[in-house]
Amino acid sequence: MENFSTVVTRAAAVALVACAVAGPAQAAEAPACAFRPNAPDQHVVVKGDTLWDISGTFLQNPWCWPRVWGMNRDEIRNPHWIYPGQVIYFDRSRGRLSLTRPGGDGRGEPPLTKLSPQLRTESLARDAIQSIPAGTIEPYLTQPLVVENRELEGAPRIVASQEGRVYLGTGDRVYVKGDLRGGKVFQVFRPGTVLKDPQTGKVLAREAAYLGSVTLDVEAKPGVDAHTFRVSETRQEMGVNDLLIPVPPAPVRNYVPHAPLQAVDARVMSIYSGVTYAGQSQVVTVNRGSLDGLDVGAVLQLYHLGKTVPDPASKGFLGIGKQQIRLPEEQYGSLFIFRVFKNVSYGLIMQVTAPVQVGDVARSPEHLSE
C-alpha cells in the first residue's frame, strides 16, 4: 500500500504548481513552438477534421496549440468548440491563430444555421470537431480497463446467478453481495494483468477485463444478504466472484492538446492486448497519472532509451574488457494522454517513426535532456 504521506506530498506539489499558473498555458516555455514554413494563411474546418490534424497543419508540434491561441489553463480544460464551416486564420504578424481574419473584419465566427420546423435532439456539441479520432479511444473512455488497487477494496461481487446458470445473457438475474453505496448501474469486470512500474517494480494497478453491465432490480431487504441485479449488457462471460464498479461519469471530450502542467518523466508500462510492439493509433499505459501532473489532453514525446555499446577505441578482445559508452536517447514519436487515473494514464500513439515497446520513455515536451 502506498504511504499516505507520499500521496499527500505528491498531490500537494501538483496543487502548488497549479496555483502558480495564473495566465500562461504552460508551466514552462515549450521549445520548438514554431509554425511550419509552409503553413497556410487559413484553413476551412470540414467534417472529419480533428484538432490535432488542424494544429499540425500550422504548427511543427500540435501540442503548441494553446500557446498560439493565448489560452490559459481554464480555457484548455473548457475550450470553445470549433465547428465545420469555420475558418481558422494565421496572423503571421502576431504569430497567433484566430477565428477572426487579421484586420478584424469579423469573419470566422460560427456559421449561422437555418432552422426548419423539426425537433432537434442532438446537442450542438456533437457537431464540434474532436481533439483526436473519437472512435479509436471510445472503449477506453467508457470501460474500466485500468483498476487501481484501492478500487478493488470492498467492491461488490457476484455470488450467484439465476438458477445456477454458467452462461449469462441480457435479462438474466444475478445476485450481488456488497455495499452498493447508492449505485444502481454497474460495470462488471475481472481483474487481469498486473501493471508494474518499469522503474520501481511497484504494482500500480491492474488491467481489467470488461465483461458487461448490470442494473439493480431489487435491493437486499433486511435478513437477505444479496441484491438482485439484471444483466443489461454482455461482452464476455460473467459469473460468480466477478466484481462490480459504478459506471464512470461521462468522459471529457473537448480537450485540447497541450504540454503537461509540469515536467513528466514516464515509462511505457503496457501495450493493450498484450502485444510486444505498438504502432500509430494504438493505446499504451504509462506509469504516471494525476498525482504526477498529467491531465487529459497532455502530450508526451516518446524516446528509445540510449543504448550502451563498447567504445571501439578502448582496449579489449572481441568486445570483452572494452570501456562502455552510452548513446543518447532517440525521440521518435508523440503520445496523446486521453484518460488519467491517480498513478496510471492511457495514451494514444499519434506519430511514430519506430515501434513502441514497454520501457520506452514518455516525457513532457518542455523537458530538455542534458
Query: What is the domain class of 265-363 according to CATH?
Result: mainly beta
Q: What is the pTM of this model?
A: 0.76
**Paired residues of 196 in beta bridges:** 203
Residue 319: per-residue pLDDT: 53
Q: Please write the tens of the pLDDT for every residue from 284-300.
A: 999 999 999 999 999 99
pLDDT band (50, 70, 90) for residue 18: very low
The three three-digit cell numbers of residue 265, written as one number: 518523466
Percent of the chain surpassing pLDDT 70: 80
pLDDT band (50, 70, 90) for residue 7: very low
Mean pLDDT of 204-221: 92
Whether pLDDT at 357 is above 60: yes
Antiparallel, parallel or unpaired: β 157-161 and 146-148: unpaired
Is residue 176 a contact partner of residue 214, using CB atoms and an 8 Å limit? yes
pLDDT band (50, 70, 90) for residue 32: low
Q: Please write the tens of the pLDDT for every residue from 248-297.
A: 777 766 789 999 988 999 999 998 767 789 999 999 999 999 999 999 99
Whether pLDDT at 191 is above 90: no
Averaged pLDDT of the chain: 81
Residue 320: per-residue pLDDT: 65
Residue 97: per-residue pLDDT: 93
Whether pLDDT at 123 is above 70: no
Largest CA distance in the chain: 86
Mean pLDDT of 71-79: 84
Q: Per DSSP, which regions of 264-307 are E strands?
A: 265-271, 277-278, 283-286, 299-304
Pure H helices in the chain: 4-20, 51-58, 65-69, 73-77, 134-142
| Top-ranked range on mean pLDDT: pick from 18-27, 47-56, 122-131 | 47-56
A 10 A CB-CB count for 28 gives: 16
Whether pLDDT at 11 is above 50: no
Q: Please write the tens of the pLDDT for every residue from 308-354.
A: 777 777 766 555 667 778 777 889 999 999 999 899 999 999 989 99
Whether pLDDT at 43 is above 90: yes
CA 85: distance to chain centroid? 28
Is residue 185 a contact partner of residue 247, using CB atoms and an 8 Å limit? yes
Residue spans in the chain of domains classed CATH 2.40.10.410: 265-363
The amino acid at residue 294 is L
pLDDT band (50, 70, 90) for residue 185: very high
Residue 15: per-residue pLDDT: 36
Tell me, what DSSP letter sits at residue 109? P
